[in-house]
Structures are given as C-alpha cells and as structure tokens.
Structure 1
Amino acid sequence: MDGQMKEILTVSQLNDNIKDLLEQAFGSVWVEGEVSNLRRPQSGHTYFTLKDDKSQIRAVYFKPFGKPKSRPADFELEEGMSVLCRARLSVYPPRGEYQLIMEAVEPRGIGALQKAFEQLKAKLASEGLFDERFKKKIPFLPRKIGVVTSPTGAVIKDILHITGRRFPGADILIAPCRVQGTEAAEEIIQGLRKLQAAAGVDVIILARGGGSLEDMAPFNSEALAREIFSSPIPVISAVGHETDFTICDFVADLRAPTPSAAAELVVPERSALLAIIANLQQRISAGYGRYYADRQRCLAGLQERFKDPRRLLADARIHLDNLLESMQRAMIQRRENICNNLQKLEMALMHLSPAGAVREKRILINNLRKDTLSGWKRYLAARLEQLRKNSALLDTLSPLGVLQRGYSITRKPGGEIVRSAGVLTKNEEVSIQLAKGGFCARVEKTYGE
C-alpha cells in the first residue's frame, strides 16, 4: 500500500452509498415489462419480477397506509401480464439488490407467456382435445399407479404419504423427470411413454408443485398435451395450486387442484372400504338368516298341511273325476256345435252354390231365345206383308204397269221422254219402250201437236 490513506467501507456502507447514488440519479421512471414470479405474502405487499426478453429486475408494490394510493380501477396484477409501471429505483441493502418501488401500474395487454398459453388453449379447444366425450374414466381401485414428477421434491413425498395412509400397500411406479426448465417437457413425455409401456398401470398422475408461469411452461407444451390426449391410460393432472391452470389440466382426463388432492382421488380410503365390506357382510348374513327363517316357517306350514296325505289323494281323485266328466261334456258339446256349424255351412253353401244360378240362367236364356225367334218371325212376317203391299202400290204407280196395258214410252236419242209431237222432227230417230222390249223408229210425219 502507498502512503496515501484510503477510505475503507463496510458492505453496508457501500450498499447505502449505491442506494443514495441511484435514488439521486434516477427519479421516477416509466418501465414496461412482463410480470413474473408474482407473490403476495400475508403482509399485503406485492412482490414480483419485471422482465423482458433479455433481462429482469425485482419490483415491489407496497400496501398503502391509510387511504389507498391511486390504482387502476378493478385491476390486480396477474402472472404473465404485460404492464407499464411508474417507479423509483432503489437498493435493498440487506441483500445488495436494486429494485423498483412501484408507484403506479397500468396493464399493457397480455404478456408473451400468457398470450402463448391462451392461443394454444384456443387452438386445442377448437380441435376438440378438451371435449368431455374423450375423457377416460378413472378406475375405482387401480392395480398400479404411475406418477410422473420430480423424484426429489415434496410432491412425491406427499403422494406417497397420502396413498400409503389411505390405502396401505398401493403399488406406485414413479417415472422420475425434471418438472422445470427447457428440457422438462420432453422428459415428462418420455416418463408418460414409459408408464404406458409398463405392465399393469391403470392410471397416471402428472404432478408438480406451484410456481410462476415460467415454472409451469413445460406443462403448457403442445407436444405434452397431445401425448396426454393420445394416452390409452387415464391421466390425472395435479400441477400447481388450486388457482393455477395449465394446458395439461384441460386435456387430462381429470384435474386435481393439488398433488395431494390427486393422491386422495386416485385411491379410496381402505378403512372406509373395509367398513363398507363389513356392513355388506352383516347385511348378507342377516338376509340369509331371514331367508332361512322364512324357509323354515314355510316348511313347517307344508308339514302341517301334509299330515294325512291320503285325504289329499282322495280329494285329488275326486277333483280328477270332476275334471274328466267336465272334459267329456265339453267334448260332446264341442262336437255338437261343430256338427251344427257344419250343417249351417252346408246350407249356406247350397244357397251360395253357382249350380242353381247356372240352371236359372239357362232357363232364362232358353226363354230369351224363344222370345227372340218368335219376335223375329213376327217382325219378318210384318215386313213381308208391308213389302207385298208396297209392291202392289208400286205396281199401280209404275210406268211399267201402264205399259202392260198397251201403252209405250218414246224417247229422243238423248233419252228425253217425248210428251208432245211438236218436239219431233221429220226423219228423227226415236226409241220406243214397250212392256216387254222396245224398238227404234224414224219419224215420217207428225200430227196432232
């Protein structure tokens, strides 16, 4: 060391000096980022990390004293939310960490992780991966339970403790994997596949404790969601706390609010089952006792009724004779009824037989034939008589009749009848028709015009 005295500071003094310098150099600043690692202890203060894609800084929002400070109406910080903050830059000396003391926070839309979560959720929902019709039934008492989780965390201890308490001797097969980090999703998928290939596994629990949205990122993987959907074995999602939701919760066959709740859901309580079995055994024994007593009473009643079986035989014989007589009377009556019905049917058949109708029709046809012949004969005689009368009248009016009396008809060469001698000329040829035959003549002379 040189002779000049140097100022020696303690760590606390150095942190205090840094705090003073930062608070003097930076007044109120506006910072935009994404909320992560959000927590609210019992003190009422809100602690979170404000980050972007390259860096992050711690932040605190103190609970106001007295009247609350100005805050956005009905606004609460949420994991993954993008916000715009007005804050003071300060240092927390006990840890030597600088941080933002929030004065006002405004929402700036959904953060990148939350936005990706909502987009993937909407996509898988539209494909039907969340539909209830695809959910497989969780077995009541699985032979073997598969668990995909970290082998060193408190989660597996809670599951083993609760299943051991509820159903001692439950067979549990663990597929150890990381549940946080970039490679965790692939390890979880491999764990699921190993349990699917294992013999006798009836149900699989996918579990991890609570955490931030970044911590839950492996359980918001699309590849993991599709692996759960295609699993032939029912899957119970037990990721985070009751208020935490991941894509696995929606696609799984059953969502448990916590890993401990999943352990309670996957196996029944052995003592309760034993109590149910004991109760059923008691009911079965009591039922068999009542059944045996009823049979004994029935047997006693039968024995009382069968003291003298000969009387029963006598009654049976009398009853049999009565039945035989009744049957004979019924048979005779039945035969008579059949004969009567047969006679009635024969009479009806005779009335309905076509032979009588054919005979009547034949008589009718013969009568019609006779009537038709006699009618035609009368008609022909009348027509012949009328023809004779008309012939006689025609003969009286016919020129041939006149010719029969010696008259003749003279015609000119053109066929015109000559009624007057004046129409004839000398040497003109004429034809003369007689009653029988005719002849031609030449006019020599006309007279008497």
Structure 2
Amino acid sequence: MWEAPEAPPRLTVSALTAQIRRQLEGEFREVIVEGELSNFVAHTSGHWYFTLKDAQSQIRCACWKGTNYRIRFRPRNGQQVVCRGKVTVYAPKGEYQLTVEAMAPVGVGEQQLAFEQLKAKLAAEGLLAPERKRPLPLVPRRIGIVTSPTGAAIQDILNVLRRRNDGVSVLLYPAQVEGAEAAASVAAGIRWFSENPDPDFPVDVLIVGRGGGSAEALWAFNTEEVARAIADSTIPVISAVGHEIDFTIADFVADLRAPTPSAAAEMVTARRADLLAEVGSMASALTKVMHIRLLRERQALETLARHPVFDDTQARLRDALQTCDELTLAVQSAVQNRLRFAGWRLERAGNRLRHYPWRPYLQLHEQRVSELTAKLIAGVQAQAAVAQHRLAQALTRLNTLSPLRVLARGYALVQHPDGRLIRTTEDAVPGQDIVIRLSDGRLLGRVAQVLPEPEAKPDPPPHS
C-alpha cells in the first residue's frame, strides 16, 4: 500500500489504544489538577462523573464509589476544586480521563460566582421583587414563544397546546438557545414581541425557554442581557428553561417560572379550563338553589293547607294560591336574571375571543346553554303547575270539611254576642241575648227559658 522502505507495524485500534494507555498511565501516575467542576452526575451505581475545566480546556473525570465516600462535601456544578488522581484511558471510547482519588474545594467557580453576583445586582435594583410579577391573562388568545424552532421544547409546547386548546394562536420567534450568540438572540426575540405589537391580534403572554442540558448549554438564560430584556418586556413572560431542577436568572426575573416547557404550556391553558369549570359549577349551584327554594315553598304551602281554618276558608286558600303564583314569578325572574348575567358573561368572553377560530365550539356551548335554559324554565313551570293542582285539591277537601257545609244541612250554631259558642244549656241564662248562625245568615234572639234535657232513668230491675 505504501512503499516506505521500513513501514511501521500494522496495529489494530485496540492495540494502538493499549500502547497509548501504557504510555499515558505510566507517565501521569499521580497528578494534581485545579479547575471548575461542571456536568456533575452522581450515578445510581454510586460512582461520580464530572468535568474539570478552565478558560481553554476541559477533561473528563471519574471518581469511583470506593473512593468518593471519603470526600466530605457534596460537589456542585460551578465549584472550584483541586483533584488528585491519575490519568487513565477509557478504551471503549478511546478517551483519556482523570481518575480522581481525592478532592478539595477551593472556592466558588467562575460561572457560579457570576450567577450569584448578577442575581444580587438585579435584586438590588428591584427586578426580582414579587410585586413586579404580573398575572397571566385569564384566557390568552395568542401566545408568543422564543426558543429554537428545531428543539424538543417547541414540540412539547405545541403538543400540550394542541391537546388542551387547539384553537389558540401561536407566534414563534426562532432563536438560538445555545452557544456564544444565544444570549443576544434570545434577548432580541423578547424585545421583538414588545416592539412589534399587533393592535388587532396582540400577543397576550410570552414563553421563553428551551429543553434541558448542561450548565454551559443553559448559560444564555443566566446573562444580564436576557434578564433585562425580560424585565423590560411589555408582555407577561413565563420562563421555561431546562428541567425542574434547573434554575436560571431568567426564572427569577420572569413573571412566572415553569419547571419545563410543557409545564409552561399547561399554565397558559389552565385558566380556560378553570373558566369552563366555573361555568359548570355555577349551573350546578343554580339548579341546587332552585331545588331548595321550591322545596321550602312546597313545605310552606303544605303547612298552610293543614292549618285548621274555619272562617273564610276560600279567601285564605286564594291568598295562598296567589302567594304561590308570586313566588313562582319571583323564581322565574331570578332564574332569568341569573341566565341574563351568565349570558352577559358569555357574550363578554365571546367578544374577547372573537378572533379565535373557536366559533364552532362557542356556538355549541351557547346551544347547550339555551337547551339547559329551556329545560330549567320548563321544570319550574311544571313544578308550579303541580303546586297549583295540589292547592286546588286541598281547597276541595277543605270545602268538604268546612262547618258551613254542616250548616247547609239544617244545623245551626248558637253563639254569645261576642262570638263564643254556646255548647250546653249551662252556657246560657234566661233573658240573655244570643246569635243563631245559619248557612245563609244570622238570627238575633233572646233566651226565654232554659230547659235542660231530663236525664234518662234506668229501667227497674225485674221481679223475681
């Protein structure tokens, strides 16, 4: 293949790696390295894997379970440490690494120090104050997103929005979210939404973020440029960077932090679900209140029907019937007022959502409300009709039991002039004025003589 007079021996990849391994491990049996710790992972096996880096270079490191139990502190990303160990070669990947045997903290790493300093600076300016946080819109019509157009974050957001509210409008600003230009790109996207509002169809809320990654990959969201762009935004901002365990400066400055991009999409659509639940709850409460009101009025009417009324029975029943009618009208009026109020709220929500392609869904809900309204009014009318029928039956029974019917059969009531009944001869004295009540009027008279009914004498016993 090559015509060199003395060609080197042909080696396999494994043989070459073995030679490199012997050379490196023989030359660097013990080294002490200082650097900033990043990408720290505590594996379930108990081993630690991380990277040591400085401004120009980085090296992978491993600290085995049998060694790291002697290290008395828990390493954290961004921490400046000094490690003692030896250089080894990881043959399966052909990579060299530092096998750490001891570790000691030096101080806070540059990135972590920069993070804390910027956070303190922004807090001193009041940009992290809770009172600056703006509430999310009740039902956002349009959502702006600043993220990579090819990343997993945008797909996660769109999947959640499509599942929970496929009628919402989404406007994406394609930004670079990793690398040297990422901070400027993300900040430019945030400013673009504030500087280019659409008066007819404005963006109601802004989601800024990306998927998970290493501390270096997420660093753009820890920069002052992005933090100030979020603070200056005229639109409420949700920060959705990385995973739940990742915290960035953007999270503290934003109006709301979401642990993941998917969670941010859940947050902006949760209010619509709450509104629909509130409408359903109001309808249920209205039905329950009407049922209780009708039950109470029915009990009141039944109590009136059982009252021992002897005089002016028909007039009292007519009054009760009129009261029932008035209460029925009052209930219907209350229902109509509540329905008008609910209709006003729906109309108001419809005006806010008129630019959404939700009209078929809103028409379906309006039709459902109309059907429920018709059923509700029909139910009230049916209940009122039943109550009126029962009152008519009670009137008939009371007329049957009325003492006036007894008088119509030829009987009379004898009363004192003050209305007290004379039940026995002992209740009257000769010369006393009396009133005799007949079925068709009254007679005024005076007692001429009191003739008690003679007591019946018992029959004499038979003679034996």
Mark yes or no: TM-score above 0.5: yes
Amino acid at match of 1:231: S
- 2:445 paired residue number: none
Cα shift at 1:295: 8.8
Q: Does 1:47 align with 2:49?
A: yes
- 1:177 paired residue number: 175
Cα shift at 1:294: 8.0
CA distance in 2 between partners of 1:141 and 1:265 (Å): 11
Cα shift at 1:258: 1.7
Partner SS for 2:66:
coil
Instruction: List runs of 5+ in structure 2 lacking aligned partners.
Output: 302-317, 326-464
- 2:197 paired residue number: 198
CA distance in 2 between partners of 1:209 and 1:185 (Å): 15
User: Deviation digits for residues 357-383 of structure 1, max 9, x if unmatched?
Assistant: xxxxxxxxxxxxxxxxxxxxxxxxxxx
CA distance in 1 between partners of 2:110 and 2:239 (Å): 24
Note the 1:99-248 alignment, pairs <5 A.
99-196=97-194, 197-199=196-198, 200-248=202-250
CA contact (8 A) 2:222 2:249 kept: yes
Cα shift at 1:57: 1.3
Larger Rg: 1
Partner SS for 2:247:
coil
- 1:70 paired residue number: 70
Partner SS for 1:115:
helix
Q: CA 1:79–1:290 in 2, change beyond 3 Å: closer, same or farther? A: same
CA contact (8 A) 1:59 1:100 kept: yes
CA distance in 2 between partners of 1:126 and 1:305 (Å): 68
- 2:368 paired residue number: none
CA contact (8 A) 1:79 1:212 kept: no
Aligned-pair Cα RMSD in Å: 2.7
CA contact (8 A) 1:168 1:270 kept: no
CA distance in 2 between partners of 1:128 and 1:304 (Å): 64
- 2:30 paired residue number: 28
Q: CA 1:165–1:4 in 2, change beyond 3 Å: closer, same or farther? A: same
CA distance in 2 between partners of 1:272 and 1:237 (Å): 22
Partner SS for 1:267:
helix
CA distance in 2 between partners of 1:94 and 1:215 (Å): 26
The counterpart of 1:256, out of the listed 255, 258, 275, is: 258
CA distance in 2 between partners of 1:216 and 1:277 (Å): 41
- 2:322 paired residue number: 303
- 2:86 paired residue number: 88
Partner SS for 1:206:
strand
Partner SS for 2:139:
coil
Matched residues, percent identical?
48
Amino acid at match of 1:130: L
CA distance in 2 between partners of 1:295 and 1:81 (Å): 75
CA contact (8 A) 2:138 2:272 kept: no
Cα shift at 1:224: 1.4
Q: CA 1:288–1:178 in 2, change beyond 3 Å: closer, same or farther? A: same
User: Deviation digits for residues 39-91 of structure 1, max 9, x if unmatched?
Assistant: 334333222221111111111112228xx6421x2x11111111100011011
Q: CA 1:300–1:101 in 2, change beyond 3 Å: closer, same or farther? A: farther
CA distance in 1 between partners of 2:320 and 2:292 (Å): 17
Cα shift at 1:193: 2.1
The counterpart of 2:279, out of the listed 277, 291, 294, is: 277
CA distance in 1 between partners of 2:113 and 2:273 (Å): 47
Q: CA 1:248–1:300 in 2, change beyond 3 Å: closer, same or farther? A: farther
Instruction: List runs of 5+ in structure 1 lacking aligned partners.
Output: 307-449
Partner SS for 1:268:
helix
CA contact (8 A) 1:38 1:212 kept: no
User: Deviation digits for residues 208-254 of structure 1, max 9, x if unmatched?
Assistant: 12222221221111121111112121111111222211111111111
Partner SS for 1:108:
strand
CA distance in 2 between partners of 1:172 and 1:288 (Å): 43
CA contact (8 A) 2:139 2:272 kept: no
Amino acid at match of 1:238: A
Residues paired across the two proteins, number: 302
Q: Does 1:267 align with 2:286?
A: no
Amino acid at match of 1:146: G
Q: CA 1:187–1:283 in 2, change beyond 3 Å: closer, same or farther? A: same
Q: CA 1:305–1:4 in 2, change beyond 3 Å: closer, same or farther? A: closer
Q: CA 1:248–1:271 in 2, change beyond 3 Å: closer, same or farther? A: closer
Cα shift at 1:115: 0.8
Amino acid at match of 1:70: R
Amino acid at match of 1:262: A
Q: CA 1:248–1:301 in 2, change beyond 3 Å: closer, same or farther? A: same
- 2:441 paired residue number: none
Cα shift at 1:134: 1.0
- 2:402 paired residue number: none
CA distance in 1 between partners of 2:27 and 2:269 (Å): 61
Amino acid at match of 1:303: Q
Q: CA 1:300–1:288 in 2, change beyond 3 Å: closer, same or farther? A: farther
Partner SS for 1:50:
strand
Cα shift at 1:29: 0.4
Cα shift at 1:304: 7.5
CA contact (8 A) 2:36 2:53 kept: yes
CA contact (8 A) 2:138 2:271 kept: no
CA distance in 2 between partners of 1:215 and 1:31 (Å): 24
Instruction: State the TM-score, normalized to the length of structure 1.
Output: 0.62
Partner SS for 2:138:
coil
Cα shift at 1:2: 4.8
CA contact (8 A) 2:145 2:173 kept: yes
Q: CA 1:281–1:69 in 2, change beyond 3 Å: closer, same or farther? A: closer
User: Deviation digits for residues 275-305 of structure 1, max 9, x if unmatched?
Assistant: 5433422333454566688899899626379
Partner SS for 1:151:
coil
CA distance in 2 between partners of 1:221 and 1:115 (Å): 13
Cα shift at 1:14: 0.4
CA distance in 2 between partners of 1:243 and 1:47 (Å): 18
CA distance in 2 between partners of 1:304 and 1:54 (Å): 92
